[in-house]
Structure 1
Amino acid sequence: MADPNAQPLVSLTERRKAQTQLDIARSAARLFAERGAAAVTAEDIAGAAGIGLRTFYRYFRTKEEAVAPLITSGIDDWLVDLAGTEPGTPVAAALEASARRALVASEPSGYRALQLSRDLLRAVPGDPGLESVWFRVVNDTEEKLVATLGLLMGPDADPVDVRLAAVAGNTAMRLAIQTWAGTGDDTAGAPRPADIAVRCIRTLTAGLPSLETA
């Protein structure tokens, strides 16, 4: 029987395209974080990424859309991790464990990616273009979570419970990153994103027997 969580094979061309998009996204995020989105042009992003402007527009319609791959890359990694949860694990516990793994980077490169996402989110409030991209990603993430959690919870799970679990997980991760972005630093006593996410998951799933931790 085929593994429902197995990832489809990706061609070399598609992998290269995805890597190029991610490289552009990182360049865009750094510029937006440093200057603010209004002060950055598509030409600036293309130059920072080492590509021509025509190549930039081959991948993205607007400068704001260029950051989407950076955000979705981390989300997709989280969803793959969540999909690998041991069968029988209570949903809330699965969400907590996967949130901690996603938001506590064990390698310097992973931590730098989290920091860049945090710095980018500081540029989002008040910028309509970036807000539109952010909210679209948030909405798409909920739908992906519904599909992932539907498989984990099984065919007999109440669709409302599956949706509630997806809303809880999505909201918790969003609040964790946004709160971390708003509070500013990694000094002693500052809230850590993983702790914020776990707190939100526990609060949002409290009183829902089908989602309770063991």
Structure 2
Amino acid sequence: MSTRPPSSLTERRKAATQLEIAHAAAELFAAQGPHATTAEDIARHAGVALRTFYRYFRSKQDAVSPLLADGADRWRALLETAEPGAELSRTLETAVEQSLAAPDEAAARALLRTRGLLRAAADDPALRAVWYRVNQESEERLVPVIARLADERPDALRVRLIAAAATDAIRIALETWAATEAGVTGEGSPVALATRCLRRLVGGDLLSGS
């Protein structure tokens, strides 16, 4: 689900309904686990008809995809507003720092919800597949953004490698954090781990264009 504001009232209503269903699914997964949760449970908890649920999502696991994609959407939106010509590594890091920060209670809750979903995915192949799909889609959407930031005539292979490495850096950081009891800020937090991964995976010759 994109972070850009929907352009019409119908699209805004659709996005709001998807988000309500996603929150309902995440709450039930946290309370009783994906295995004990049905699509009917999620629809009932969200206050929508089952047919409405299946209009937007293919499965109960797919219902949380808007929440799993939220961080990547915010990160990409920040990169879309960045100016070309700046040092790419610093631009990527700055966007990561802002998108994974937890400056308030709402941001902290969102990160903790992601932790719960990633922990649930460890025992649920279908939920894990949704997480991998979300990351693949994020990588594909990141390619034109990186191309714009890289230079006037970027090398297509280099751009794809940067997009893939940057996406994996954040994915690995979040998965690593989810397996610990580290907080949402400070050492071991998502932003600390993501910055560390980003520097290791998206560094050296790749960002210098060599």
Same fold at TM > 0.5:
yes
Structure-2 separation of matches of 1:114 and 1:206: 26
Determine the structure 1 residue equivalent to 2:95: 98
Aligned to 1:77: 74
Residue 156 of structure 2 is matched in structure 1 by: 159
* Structure 1 residue aligned with 2:124: 127
- Displacement, 1:150? 0.8
Runs of 4+ in 1 over 3 A off after TM superposition: 187-190, 209-212
What TM-score do the two structures reach when normalised by structure 1? 0.88
CA distance in 2, matches of 1:170, 1:25: 22
Is structure 2 residue 189 aligned with structure 1 residue 192? yes
Picking from 123, 136, 139, the partner of 1:139 is 136
2:173–2:194 contact (8 Å) kept in structure 1: yes
- Two-structure CA RMSD over aligned residues (Å): 2.1
Q: Percent identity?
A: 46
Corresponding position of 2:147: 150
What is the CA deviation profile of residues 120-161 of structure 1, one whole-angstrom value per residue up to 9, with x for unaligned ones?
111001312112211111111111111210111134111122
Q: Which residue of 1 aligns with 2:39?
A: 42
Query: Which stretches in structure 1 are left out of the alignment for 5+ residues?
Result: 1-6
Q: Distance in 1 between matches of 2:7 and 2:180?
A: 39
Report the CA distance between 1:195 and its aligned residue.
Answer: 0.8
CA distance in structure 2 between the aligned counterparts of 1:74 and 1:12, rounded to whole angstroms: 24
Instruction: Indicate whether 1:183 and 2:148 are aligned.
Output: no
* Aligned residue pair count: 206
Give 2:57's aligned residue. 60
Judged with a 3 Å threshold, the aligned counterparts in structure 2 of structure 1 residues 196 and 187 are, in CA distance, closer, same or farther, namely: closer
Contact 2:22 2:63 in 1 (8 A): yes
CA distance in 2, matches of 1:84, 1:211: 22
Superposition pairs for residues 27-38 of structure 1, below 5 Å? 27-38=24-35
Preserved CA contact (<8 Å) 1:65 1:133: yes
Instruction: Kindly state the Cα deviation for residue 209 of structure 1 after the two structures are TM-superposed.
Output: 5.9
- SS of the aligned residue for 2:35 comes to helix
Measure, in 2, the Cα distance between the counterparts of 1:53 and 1:16: 17
| Code of the aligned partner of 1:183 | T
Deviation at 1:203, TM superposition (A): 0.8
Whole-Å separation in 1 of the counterparts to 2:6 and 2:20 = 22
Pairing 1:23–2:24 present: no
Higher mean C-alpha deviation, range 180-189 or range 37-46: 180-189
* Greater mean deviation of Cα atoms: 152-161 or 42-51: 152-161
Of 165, 169, 194, 2:166 maps to: 169
Q: Distance in 2 between matches of 1:132 and 1:188?
A: 28
Say if 1:89 and 1:198 are closer, same or farther in 2 by CA, change over 3 A.
same
Structure 2 Cα separation of the partners of residues 135 and 55 of structure 1: 25
The structure whose RCO (Cα within 8 Å, separation 6+) is larger is 1
Q: Deviations over 1:145-178 (max 9, x none)?
A: 1121011113411112211211221011101211
For residues 211 and 22 of structure 1, the distance between their equivalents in structure 2, rounded to whole angstroms, comes to 39
Q: Note the residue ranges of structure 2 that are not aligned, 5 or more in a row.
A: none
